[in-house]
Every structure is written in C-alpha cells, then in structure tokens.
Amino acid sequence: MRYQICVSGAASGETVEASHQLAYDLGKAIAEKGKTLTTGATVGLPWYAAKGAYSVANRRGVSAGFSPASSFREHVTVYRLPTVEFDYINFTGMSYVGRDIHLVRSSDAVITVGGRMGSLHEFSTAIESRKVIGVLLGSGGLADYVPKLLEHVEAQGVKDIIYDTDPYRLVDKVIEALDAKYADFRHDGTDGGIDNRLAHHNG
C-alpha cells in the first residue's frame, strides 16, 4: 500500500540547524520505499524532508504538502512558503492550527524529528487519532523530550510509539507497523476492493 507518512518537525530554530540532514534522510527513505511523504508544506525540517523525497531518482513515492494558505498566491506571498519540492499542495485555508490537524488526520503515520510547539500539536493530534507514530531520537527538541513527557502525561497507545536514532531504520519500522495495522486490508489498485474479513468486521 502507498501509505501517507507525515514528517513533523520545526520550521526554524536550533533543531533545524542540527538535524536538517536527518529530516532529509527521512524524506528520502520514505520516497525510496514508494510511499507518500506528507508535510506542512513549510520551511525548516519538513522542507528538508520534502527535499530528500524530491531527490530520489525514478521515485515511486509522492511528496504532498498541506498548506495553511487558501491559495497558491497566499501560500507564496503571505506565508512565503516553498513550492518546488511538492508534487501536490493541498491549500487548506485553515491557518497553521487547522492545517496541522488536517495534515495529521490525512496521514497514516506521523514521524517527529526535532520539533517545537507546532510539532507538539501534531504529535498530540496523532496520539488522539491513534496513528502509527515514530520518533527520531537524537534529533533534538520535542523528539528527544517525548519519552520524558510521556512518563508524566497519560495517553492511550504510548507503548506502541516507535523510537529509533536512524532515519532509515525508523521508516522501515513505521512501514512494518502500518503493514501489521492494515494486514486485513487488500487493494488491487483497480477497484478499491476491500478484503472480505475487513468488510465483515465492519458489519
């Protein structure tokens, strides 16, 4: 399945300087696996992830950005956000807070690299939405604080959060978790068919 995997991270600040190569490698790994990278169509670490995905020759994956703007013009002239590295941009018109929710809810998994308060919003939305979640340890900011945070803040599904220090390994683990989550779903690419077990389970 062509999962939609979100890379969430800081748009600016110390973690961008320290961890931009890690974000780039996350995006590259997602594209090399033929999956769809989703980001907030913004600068900083998400932009480096988009650059990594865009760099893959003959890639089967897609880079999709979810913009806070309501149009291409607003995206460029008001928010001053990038465009080149995206195969598709969804102009949500929801500003940053609404964009974050739409981005996470539209993704199958969310990977946190670095991160500040906006990334914390996306992380908490991913937990509440029961998404597959990966955290790239060693990338600074929110990512490195998550284990300590979850020692003190109760939330469902925290035992299923996937941690790793290597972006390629982390992407592999996230895809493996998605494969397990969707093991009862079969799609042949032509008619949107759903495995009978899933249809029966849903009544």
Domain covering 4-201 assigned CATH 3.40.50.450 in the classification = yes
Residue 74 and residue 203: Cα distance in Å, rounded?
44
Name 37's bridge partners. Answer: 5, 63
Q: Identify whether the C-beta of residue 6 lies closer than 8 Å to the C-beta of residue 38.
A: yes
pLDDT in tens, 161-184: 999 999 999 999 999 999 999 998
pLDDT of amino acid 168? 98
pLDDT of amino acid 188? 56
pLDDT in tens, 114-161: 999 999 999 999 999 999 999 999 999 999 999 999 999 988 889 999
pLDDT in tens, 36-66: 999 999 999 999 999 999 999 888 889 999 9
pLDDT, mean over the chain: 92
**SS3 for 58?**
coil
Name 164's bridge partners. Answer: 136
Domain ranges in the chain are 4-201
The amino acid present at 199, given as its one-letter code, is A
Token duo for residue 43: 């600068």
Beta strands in the chain (DSSP E): 4-9, 36-39, 63-67, 88-91, 109-113, 132-136, 162-164
pTM for the structure as a whole: 0.90
